[in-house]
Amino acid sequence: MVSAFNLAREQNMYLQSEESQNNLGIPERHVGISSYLDEGLLAKYNLLTPGSYLRPSPPSLPPPSVPDLPNFMRNTEVMEEHEKARKIPINRDTAVVPPAKIKRSTLSAGSTGYIRVKAPTKNAWKGSMHPDVRIEGQKGLEKLQAKSHFLKTERFGKEDTDQQIFCTVPSKIHFDSYEIGKSYEQKLKIKNVSNSSRQLKVLPPKTKHFTMTKSADPSQSGAIAPGLSVEYTVTFLPGSLGLHQDELQIMPQGGALTNVPLVGERPPPVLSLPDTLDCGYCLVNGTLKTQFRCKNSGGHGIFQLYPQGTVPDQFLFNDLLPPKFTFEDNGFTVTPTSFALKTGDEVVIDVEFRPTEVTRSTTKFTLAVDNCTLQDFTLTAQSQSCRVQTIAVSGGESTVDYDIRNEETCEPVIINFEDQNPGTTEEKIFILRNCVNVPLHFNWEICKILSESEKSENALLSTDPIAPFQIYPAIGILDPAAEATFTITCNPQNAGKYENVARLWVDDIPAVLPSGVVLERYDALHITLTHLAQPHQIKLDPPALVIPGEHVAGNMVSKTVKIVNESLSATNVNWTWPEGDLKFCVHPQSLTVGAGSSRTVQIDIETSSAGAKETHLTCSLENVDKPLKLFVKAAFRGPRVTISGDKEDPALDFGFIHFRPGCSVQRQFEIVNHDGVHAKWSLAEVEHCVDKEYGQSEFQFSETGGEIGPYEVRQLHVIFKPHVPRSLKSFIECTVENGTGNKLRVVGEIQEPNVVLEKSSIDLGVIYVGVPVKNTVVFESLNFADSSFRVASAEGKDKKFGHIEFDKTEGTIYAGGTQTIPFRFTGREAATIEDFTVAFEMAGGKVLALGIKAEVRGLHIIHETPDIEQIAPETGAEQLEAPVLDFGTVEILKPTSRVLKIINKSHIATNFSLRVMNLRGAASNPPPVSARGLTNLSERTFRSASNLLTKSNALLDPKSKSRKQGDAEYWKTQLKDNKGACFIASPSSGYLPGNGVTIVTIHANSDMWGVYHDTLVSQVGDLEAVEIPITLNATNSPLYYKLSNNNKPTVRFGCYPLNEQPVSRTVHISNQGPVDIRLDWETYNIVPKDDTLIDLNFFIGDAFPEKSGETRPTGEGEDLIRLSVVPHEGERSTGPFSFSPDQCVIPARGSSKVTLNFDPRYGTGKCDGDFHSFALAYQSLVGNTNSDLCTRLQGEQVPPLKIMMTGKVEVPEVVVTAEEHGFTFKLMAGIINSRVKEHTKIHKMSLLNGSKLHLQFKIAASLPFTLLDEKMEYTLTPRQKIKLDHGLILSEKLLTSLLNSTKQNFRLELDKSDGQFVESEEGKVEVNIEEQLLHKSHEVNLPDGTVDTIVQQVPEKRFHLHSHLTLHYNNGHQQKIPVHCRIILPTFYISPQNVEFGTCLVGQTSHLTVRLINPSNSPLRWTSVYSGSTEEGEFGISPSQGEFTRADSVLLNLTFTAKSCNPSRGTYTFTGTPGNRTLHLSLHGIGSHDERMQRLL
């Protein structure tokens, strides 16, 4: 048994040794890719091999030999004898050999794959076992293997063999991501789930790709106690990327065999490439290029194309792309043949097809995948020959096929066009089909038809440039297997017969020539086109135009001519005429006459000269060489203009003329143009009528000549200046250029002048009864002879109202002079004199009449109502309008006054009295001066100097009253009749002297608003009483609040805590008016920063109805629907202020009270804090009826009473204090990497309840801000303080969302479905991006040994996150605590950015350094990638990647090895994460074979 254990131990040691693994062919765990590269294949294509950049491995050396054992450690002969006696063989000279060296028959099914054999040593006979010892050892081994069959004690009961003894975790070991040359491990735990200790045997995997080692064993005895487990490590070394399967066999003591599957399988790639790749259609000998997109939606894979059946047994996969292969038998070419695709990647497979005959070509290829799977694909394409087919021709043609390759079988197509006239166009539609699935490029050519001789000589068709046929489109592309429609037009320009051939050319048809495949042009189709063009048949009706009669020159004469078209098609006509005296206009000048129809044109003829005219008009026809001629003949005359005088008398009569030197008379006349043309005229007196003595005409015309328009009537005037008195008889002649005129007779009578009155009527104005008025009458002589006058008598119906006396009743008026006669006129009684005439008898029997007008008045009184401030002395002005006492708009209980002036315009003294008809005061005494409401001017007018010193009231006398109290009591007595207003005249009666003025003051006051109307009656002497209207508009309310400041009533409630019980205040309201007033209360809150300017109120019916349900009837003329615009002062509210009751009645001359409530509970969650509100009390009248005396508005039509209200609700909040860093978090984005996916930064804060209330609240935060305390609801007693932790979680998802955003300002919200941060307008986290430039300096060693400091600007980006920690109180109040986070994105830069190696020796490696600097405190990971050619030289960098944990820099070693003398350039691109900021390092160097360039360092 001991020897068996030793044998097993030695086998395990051998399996774990490196030599055993090499012998088994198992690679090491860390195997480089160079072991899988074919260096010969790489060198064949001039590519880098691992030997170019890897150091050669050191040669393998044999292990040191084990020294011989010292003598003191060797067995003695006695020991060996004891060992032989114990039958324990010592096999020191045995060795383990691999199974490849042993026949398979020597391996048993249960062995581990290796057996012990004798090593071929020289003294092998010494280690041979004795047969007896061998037999005893075999028996011992049999007993050892049979130990599981020992009988068990009966007390343990019968064991259930079906019960599970061991369970494995996991039950299956699966490797799903691996690469060739690397090893992968997984742990396997085997747990004893029975109720007793058990032994376990695990058989290793059978394949070389899986190995197993024991990692942990809880017991040293080999038995596993119940509940304990043993751990094994399974190692997977893939030899390929294909499927690997194996299993572990677990043999427990007393239990069934358990298998643990071992599987190595990667996710297979899934390609979007179909099994059949149809390339389409191609012409014979042509080339068809097709692309197929192949996308991998499965796992990563490397693919290689092989013709079907040519895949090698051991195909090699790499990223190199060998040349494309061609299927020569079928003309297919496929590229690329090798490619690698990751998940989601795609590649474009290009297929070229070049057929040589008409057939469908098909070939297959195999796609080999690196997971050892194959997939077959089929390539197919169809080759065709070019062929077209005619489908239809408008006018009738059958379908004909045309094969370009067989032109001899083509049948011609004939298209005949109907007979037409030259210049017409006819169209036919021709449909052609492309019979192949390939687009064909075509163009049409119109050719001449060959004659029989030309056909016999095989002449070629040539283009006909004058052919009338055209085909559209003439050039284009025939779509594959589609029909194309062509339009053939025929447009002959001359008469005759036309025959042509339309030839269809097809371009780019592949053809095989000795020089190769070329693209040729083929004649595909011939179409014969025929047409007959006939000449036009057109005539004019009438053929000549002779216009009868005589027409006015300048007038237009219109005639019509018909154009008759007897041709086969329409024609275009154009009229022309020669330049000359005759002017023509043809409508229309150009027109189209349809076939078999006629058109009528209008010819307008005009000339400027008279006489007979004749000429020809030319009618040009389109497409007709010889035009038509129209003969025209007509006669014309000039215009006729006449002058005329009076309509009743054709003569121009100047009438009677008083002759005197220089006298003149003007008369109007007119000239008339009787024709519709312009005419030139001239006026003059007939020559033989001109006075020969004076040698010039006595007439002067406003116009002596000019031009007059058609049918114009022009008004002219003539001035006649007579030379001597006589009877005028003469003629005025009108002369017309190229026309006819007439003569006008002129008559008149010229005599000497006489005497006239200077004024035929005298208005004396206003005079009074019995008061004489003086005036004069003036005679004027209008001739050169003396004259005389005599007063005859007074006549007229008004002569009884007055008497006139002249100082002279007769006298002489000298020639050319004037005579003035004074007179006196006296009124007898009051009247208006209009018909009073005095006659004067003049010499020669002529009578002159003088009219007298006057207004005789008696007693005259005028009433005026000027403003008090505008009282002025009497001006003598008459009263123009009725007086009105308008007091305007006056506030109630404020007396006012107006002035009434009574003016006596006569000399009669009289008495006057005044009375108010309705609204008179209750007492008759006039008001004291202080109660009159007079202005300063009126007070100075009516107060005397003695009144300036007034008596003060006695302070000790209880009955003594101040002046203000006395005035109030006076008006209270006057208004006690409850009429609302009263008017008092002071004085109410008196004496009015002659020509005097009396001023009366009218006093008014009111105790109720409304518009009052009354009448003041003025009685002066015996005159009729004068009624003066009185109007007063009383405003303001008789209500007032009994508060300390009634000018601006305000109720201040003070400060109360939130949710306190309502507080009440009582306000007393007094009514000084005579009417009960109902108040309706509305409350408004004043909103800060309210930009509303006005409020629009909408009322229907009674705006404030009575709460009892009674409705106020709508008055006559009152609108049912009303709108009002009022200034906006606040928003209508229902709290926190309210009135109880909200409707109340204030009795007349009494008072009432209302309760004003303030509810601190209203502010919960609405507008906690200071409340500034006001209430409006709308006033409605109870039992009021409007009348003619008083009209009162109410409700919304009256300004409401206003009372201000203030109150404050104190909302208790906790006092939040931040500790250490406050509420601003500062984080570096670089702390998030592949190892750290999430980082939380914690700050502390304290919450203090500084109020006297118990506060209960919850705290909430918006991610990425968080609260670290699991308890979210808190209750704080007064003065209690707690401390909380709050923080910010910076995660990879948050950083990704910030980096992917393109906005400067946005909001973030957490999408709970996938845990991602997304941009949302409703997000509670506001993000602002800040970008700034950092000025960083560093030292640089210059080539001359000096050190220079360089300052660079490095961009840095920061993300600012703003949010709130919200405290939700149980009363609905919210308290927000602003929090802020600043995330700094790392940045870095390199110095210098351009490196020059200069000239280096070819083959020698040169070294330089640059510095990579991280100026920020954020961690940063960086990598570098080289881009550039390596043919001329190689650049290297060390290290090529790294990581900054803080603000630091690293020195990078750069190498350059020149391969040739040409310049080498390269670029290293550095990428920093997070942020993906890139830098570029440019490298330049040049090689040289000059050994002087060798560098020692």
Residue 155: the pLDDT is 45
Taking the CA atoms of the chain, what radius of gyration do you get in angstroms? 67
* Of 787-791, 1016-1020, 1168-1172, 1364-1368, the least confident: 1168-1172
Q: Per-residue DSSP letters for 813-841?
A: E-TT-EEEEEEEEEE-SSEEEEEEEEEEE
CA pair distance 1466, 48, nearest whole angstrom = 17
At residue 8 the predicted structure's pLDDT band, cuts being 50, 70 and 90, is: very low
Structure tokens at 816: 């050319």
At residue 1339 the predicted structure's pLDDT band, cuts being 50, 70 and 90, is: low
**182 or 752, which is more confident:** 182
CA pair distance 863, 904, nearest whole angstrom = 9
Residue 1291: the pLDDT is 83
CA pair distance 1135, 1062, nearest whole angstrom = 11
Strands 374-384 and 276-283, sheet pairing: parallel
Query: What number is the average pLDDT over the span 760-782?
Result: 83
The CA–CA distances, whole Å, from 244 to 239, 241, 1465 equal 9, 9, 47
Residue 72: the pLDDT is 61
Structure tokens at 1170: 């200071």
Residue 1031: the pLDDT is 93
CA pair distance 285, 278, nearest whole angstrom = 18
pLDDT at 28 over 70: no
Residue 226: the pLDDT is 86
SS3 state at 1225: strand
Query: What number is the average pLDDT over the span 839-859?
Result: 81
Note the pLDDT tens digit of each residue in 910-930. Answer: 889 999 988 888 776 777 765
Q: Are 1099 and 1149 a contacting pair, CB within 8 Å?
A: no
In 3D space, the residue among 722, 89, 553, 41 whose CA is nearest the CA of residue 317 turns out to be 41
Structure tokens at 1299: 């980096």
Residue 5: the pLDDT is 42
At residue 27 the predicted structure's pLDDT band, cuts being 50, 70 and 90, is: very low
Q: Are 397 and 367 a contacting pair, CB within 8 Å?
A: no
CA pair distance 354, 326, nearest whole angstrom = 11
At residue 94 the predicted structure's pLDDT band, cuts being 50, 70 and 90, is: very low
Q: Are 1180 and 1144 a contacting pair, CB within 8 Å?
A: no
The torsion angle over the Cα atoms of residues 323, 324, 327 and 328, rounded to 10 degrees, is -60
Residue 157: the pLDDT is 45
| E strand map for 237-275 | 244-252, 258-264
In this prediction the pTM is: 0.37
Note the pLDDT tens digit of each residue in 507-561. Answer: 888 877 777 677 778 888 888 888 888 888 888 888 888 888 888 877 788 888 8
Q: What average pLDDT does the structure give for the chain?
A: 79
Residue 30: the pLDDT is 43
Residue 301: the pLDDT is 85
The CA–CA distances, whole Å, from 983 to 153, 923, 979, 1009 equal 139, 11, 11, 15
- Percentage of residues of the chain with pLDDT beyond 90: 5
pLDDT at 1307 over 70: yes
Determine the longest span between alpha carbons in the chain, in angstroms: 211
pLDDT at 402 over 70: no
* Helix H or strand E encompassing 1232: none
CA pair distance 278, 12, nearest whole angstrom = 60
Note the pLDDT tens digit of each residue in 872-882. Answer: 444 444 555 68
Q: What is the distance between the terminal CA atoms of the chain, rounded to a whole angstrom?
A: 69
Note the pLDDT tens digit of each residue in 256-309. Answer: 888 899 998 888 888 888 989 899 999 888 888 899 999 999 888 888 888 888
**1151 or 1269, which is more confident:** 1151
Q: Are 1468 and 1426 a contacting pair, CB within 8 Å?
A: yes
* Of 66-80, 590-604, 676-690, 966-980, the least confident: 66-80
Note the pLDDT tens digit of each residue in 1344-1356. Answer: 566 666 666 777 7
CA pair distance 639, 446, nearest whole angstrom = 66
Query: What number is the average pLDDT over the span 1112-1125?
Result: 70
Q: Are 630 and 584 a contacting pair, CB within 8 Å?
A: no
Structure tokens at 928: 């004291």
Residue with tokens 């615009």: 1125
Residue with tokens 């002071």: 986
At residue 1017 the predicted structure's pLDDT band, cuts being 50, 70 and 90, is: very high
pLDDT at 96 over 50: no
Give Cβ neighbours of residue 392 (< 8 Å, ≥ 6 apart).
Answer: 399, 429, 430, 431
CA pair distance 1000, 835, nearest whole angstrom = 41
In 3D space, the residue among 596, 595, 613 whose CA is nearest the CA of residue 605 turns out to be 613
Query: What number is the average pLDDT over the span 937-950?
Result: 42
Residue 711: the pLDDT is 85
Residue 411: the pLDDT is 60
At residue 246 the predicted structure's pLDDT band, cuts being 50, 70 and 90, is: very high
Give Cβ neighbours of residue 1375 (< 8 Å, ≥ 6 apart).
Answer: 1213, 1214, 1216, 1257, 1366, 1367, 1369
Residue 34: the pLDDT is 55
Structure tokens at 1131: 């928003």
Structure tokens at 1386: 């790392």
CA pair distance 417, 427, nearest whole angstrom = 8
Residue 67 buriedness (CB in 10 A; 0-12 / 13-18 / 19+): exposed
pLDDT at 135 over 80: yes
Query: What number is the average pLDDT over the span 647-672?
Result: 79
CA angle 1139/1140/1145 to nearest 5° reads: 100
Burial track 1172-1184 (b if 16+ CB lie within 10 A, e otherwise): ebbbbbbbbbeeb
Residue 752: the pLDDT is 64
At residue 863 the predicted structure's pLDDT band, cuts being 50, 70 and 90, is: confident
Residue 1091: the pLDDT is 83
Structure tokens at 510: 């592949």
In 3D space, the residue among 367, 366, 286 whose CA is nearest the CA of residue 331 turns out to be 286
SS3 state at 624: coil
Q: Are 654 and 646 a contacting pair, CB within 8 Å?
A: no
CA pair distance 846, 839, nearest whole angstrom = 11
Q: Are 1208 and 1171 a contacting pair, CB within 8 Å?
A: yes
Structure tokens at 376: 């077959």
